[in-house]
């Protein structure tokens, strides 16, 4: 629940309010950083930029990189998929293998993204309240 005066900035395509959450997971699918509270209409790149400049924000260790989704700009230590290059699983099969380095990168990027989605599903299965409509005030959710 958000105040009516602010609800328009939280609205997404299907006209319901949502909150963006930026999360960083390690290879063991453990959440190592979470930033919640951004309005649903805010671009992912803006949320990432904010998290990198906060005093308690996201710190990417030297010699490490973070996987970003297509909404993130290519920036130091953030690896988004190549644009205008095949990316979805249904575009790849035994007969339609990756044909160049960009497609191979996107396929491997996608495989890691699927693992990240599994971590969110596991979190929601563990805490069923995350599947339900939130009746908590915005500040309590964040």
pLDDT grade, residue 6 (50/70/90)?
Answer: low
Average pLDDT over residues 3-20: 69
What are the tens digits of pLDDT across the range 101-141?
A: 888 888 888 888 888 888 888 888 888 777 666 666 767 77
Q: What is the DSSP letter of 88?
A: S
Which helix (DSSP H) or strand (DSSP E) does residue 52 occupy?
helix 44-53
Average pLDDT over residues 84-110: 75
How far are the Cα atoms of 71, 106, 124 from residue 129, in angstroms, in the given order? 27, 33, 8
What are the tens digits of pLDDT across the range 45-86?
A: 888 888 888 888 888 888 888 888 887 777 888 888 888 776
59: containing domain: 4-141
Is the CB of residue 47 less than 8 Å from the CB of residue 20? yes
Q: β-strand 66-67 against 31-39: which pairing, if any? A: unpaired
- Please state the domain count of the chain: 1
pLDDT grade, residue 10 (50/70/90)?
Answer: low
How far are the Cα atoms of 19, 59, 83, 126, 140 from residue 56, in angstroms, in the given order? 20, 8, 31, 27, 20
Q: Examine the pLDDT at 12 and tell me if it is beyond 70.
A: no
Is the CB of residue 33 less than 8 Å from the CB of residue 78? no
């Amino acid at each position: 629940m958000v105040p009516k005066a602010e609800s328009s900035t939280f609205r997404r395509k299907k006209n319901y309010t949502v909150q963006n959450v930026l999360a960083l997971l390690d290879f063991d699918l453990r959440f190592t950083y979470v930033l919640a509270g951004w309005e649903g209409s805010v671009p992912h790149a803006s949320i990432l930029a904010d998290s990198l400049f906060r005093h308690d924000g996201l710190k990417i260790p030297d010699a490490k990189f973070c996987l970003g989704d297509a909404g993130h700009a290519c920036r130091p230590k953030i690896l988004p998929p190549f644009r205008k290059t095949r990316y979805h699983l249904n575009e790849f099969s035994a007969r339609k293998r990756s044909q160049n380095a960009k497609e191979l990168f996107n396929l491997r990027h996608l495989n890691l993204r699927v693992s990240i989605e599994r971590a969110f599903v596991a979190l929601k299965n563990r805490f069923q309240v995350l599947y339900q409509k939130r009746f908590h005030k915005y500040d309590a959710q964040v």
